[in-house]
Chain A
């Protein structure tokens, strides 16, 4: 067994950590660092509940070995807002009733965040494709798409 010393940025804060090399980023975030906003679902990279941003890109934290994040930047849902005001996507999820049990919500919002950052004018069909890898077992997706589309529209130029 190899033990690693890793240093990375979590939601803007530098973290130094000792970790056994066979553990995943998901385990480190939840069990060691208390980042319980990252949810463990399937553990196989299919459901999207453990999504985090790794250097800005959505990844399954259950499929990233901890050693891989040395020197990298991790953002979880908690990192999207400043702890006071909601991020516009979070506010839109509340407004549109896009969360029921809420288990998929952190991953869903992070995926939507990265997608809208790169495709600010996206339409509903593109949004549906973008979140296809994030499973929700409650809502039927309509309200989730409504919430994300509302943010896309807000970002669009008026005129």
Chain B
């Protein structure tokens, strides 16, 4: 079905785009890679009065590495992240997550800013940004602000963005020495949305004990959820298959899975524990093997 007709603007500068988004408010919808928004338009689930196409905004396609931080422009495509182009190779967790997204066509056009702003509960990049304690950079005609990932994801397809605000970039810390990361996902077929996924980051101290562990889950709650109790239980432990599984089993995981046609809530809860354990296993092994800077 064709989309409901809309006005279309493809501004050449970010300033123009933000001006349009500000004057048109909730009538406007920004278009990044279009891999979620265009189907919503043609299914008529979204009926904006005006689509503001961001495709010409080259300033949002840059990647900068500065002071231990990676600043990724919102329009950087999944494919570029998958290939680890330029400085993008400095974030192995993001690079490992990229090939899990959709299919090759989605990755050719889909963007990191679009994925984060869309905030699908089963999406990989929101969980990765949450696991890395990343920051979402938002800008409007009134100014620019940085929103911690912990505060950015508010609910299903809902974020802390205000009307007129646009995600312009993502800030991620470049992993230091003795740090490893991994993502584990289960889906019915390659390219399907995750039934559940776990992104883990483990930092070891000089004695090989966990200095800090972080796990973020996708697909088992309205927003990417951190398993803070597991993270605390692992701190100070030597990470082995045993200590990791003990930490996961000690108390119920802080997730709120729903049941649907693909999987029951109980199955998702079981899967979350299994995937978190595997992600932590691999992240810890990589941390132990990493020489670091």
The total number of A-B Cβ pairs within 8 Å is 96
Contact segment of A58-66, A86-94, A145-153 = A58-66
- CB contacts (< 8 Å) of A111 on chain B: these are 104
- CB contacts (< 8 Å) of B1 on chain A: these are 43
Q: Is B150 on the interface with A (CB-CB < 8 A)? A: no
- CB contacts (< 8 Å) of A54 on chain B: these are 108
Q: Would B38 and A64 count as touching, CB distance under 8 A?
A: yes
Q: 9 smallest A-B Cβ distances: which pairs?
A: A133-B103, A21-B8, A1-B5, A132-B190, A2-B8, A22-B3, A57-B108, A63-B38, A44-B39
In the assembled complex, the Cα of A44 lies from the Cα of B4 at a distance in Å of: 16
Q: Would B10 and A67 count as touching, CB distance under 8 A?
A: yes
Q: Would A65 and B39 count as touching, CB distance under 8 A?
A: no
Name A's interface SS. mixed
Q: Is B69 on the interface with A (CB-CB < 8 A)? A: no
Q: What is the CB-to-nearest-CB distance from B254 to chain A, in angstroms, rounded to a whole number?
A: 32
Question: Given that A27-B2, A65-B38, A132-B189 are contacting pairs, would A21 and B51 also be in contact in the complex, using a CB cutoff of 8 Å?
Answer: yes
Nearest opposing residue in chain A for B5, CB measure: A1
| Mask: chain B, 168-205; 1 = CB below 8 Å from A; 0 = not | 00000000000000000000011100000000000000
Q: Is A48 on the interface with B (CB-CB < 8 A)? A: yes
In the assembled complex, the Cα of A23 lies from the Cα of B191 at a distance in Å of: 26
Nearest opposing residue in chain B for A20, CB measure: B5
- CB contacts (< 8 Å) of B104 on chain A: these are 58, 111, 114-115, 130, 133
Q: Would B6 and A1 count as touching, CB distance under 8 A?
A: yes
In the assembled complex, the Cα of A114 lies from the Cα of B4 at a distance in Å of: 33
Q: Would B105 and A67 count as touching, CB distance under 8 A?
A: no
Among A22, A115, A129, A130, the residue within 8 A (CB) of B41 is A22
Q: Is B96 on the interface with A (CB-CB < 8 A)? A: no
In the assembled complex, the Cα of A62 lies from the Cα of B34 at a distance in Å of: 10
Nearest opposing residue in chain A for B83, CB measure: A118
Q: Is B133 on the interface with A (CB-CB < 8 A)? A: no
Question: Given that A65-B34, A65-B51, A65-B53 are contacting pairs, would A132 and B191 also be in contact in the complex, using a CB cutoff of 8 Å?
Answer: yes
| Mask: chain B, 5-33; 1 = CB below 8 Å from A; 0 = not | 11111100000000000000000000100
Task: Pick the most buried of A44, A60, A129: most chain B CB atoms within 10 A of its CB.
Answer: A60
Q: Is A45 on the interface with B (CB-CB < 8 A)? A: yes
Q: What is the CB-to-nearest-CB distance from B194 to chain A, in angstroms, rounded to a whole number?
A: 15
Q: Would B34 and A63 count as touching, CB distance under 8 A?
A: yes
B residues touching A (Cβ–Cβ < 8 Å)? 1-10, 31, 34-35, 38-39, 41-43, 51, 53, 55, 79, 102-106, 108-109, 189-191
Q: Would A132 and B34 count as touching, CB distance under 8 A?
A: no
Task: Pick the most buried of A27, A111, A114, A132: most chain B CB atoms within 10 A of its CB.
Answer: A132
Q: Would B109 and A65 count as touching, CB distance under 8 A?
A: no
Task: Pick the most buried of B7, B10, B105, B191: most chain A CB atoms within 10 A of its CB.
Answer: B105
- CB contacts (< 8 Å) of B38 on chain A: these are 24, 45, 62-65
Q: What is the CB-to-nearest-CB distance from B191 to chain A, in angstroms, rounded to a whole number?
A: 5
Q: Would A68 and B55 count as touching, CB distance under 8 A?
A: yes
* Beyond A57-B108, A64-B34, 13 extra complex contacts between A and B, CB < 8 Å: A1-B5, A1-B6, A1-B7, A21-B5, A22-B2, A22-B51, A24-B42, A59-B105, A60-B105, A65-B31, A67-B8, A132-B190, A133-B104
In the assembled complex, the Cα of A27 lies from the Cα of B150 at a distance in Å of: 41
In the assembled complex, the Cα of A57 lies from the Cα of B78 at a distance in Å of: 13
- CB contacts (< 8 Å) of A65 on chain B: these are 8, 31, 34, 38, 51, 53
Nearest opposing residue in chain B for A54, CB measure: B108
- CB contacts (< 8 Å) of A105 on chain B: these are none
Nearest opposing residue in chain A for B192, CB measure: A46
In the assembled complex, the Cα of A2 lies from the Cα of B190 at a distance in Å of: 38
- CB contacts (< 8 Å) of A27 on chain B: these are 2
Task: Pick the most buried of B10, B38, B53: most chain A CB atoms within 10 A of its CB.
Answer: B38
Task: Pick the most buried of A4, A45, A67, A130: most chain B CB atoms within 10 A of its CB.
Answer: A45
Q: Would B4 and A45 count as touching, CB distance under 8 A?
A: no
Q: Is A51 on the interface with B (CB-CB < 8 A)? A: yes
In the assembled complex, the Cα of A20 lies from the Cα of B10 at a distance in Å of: 14
Nearest opposing residue in chain A for B34, CB measure: A63
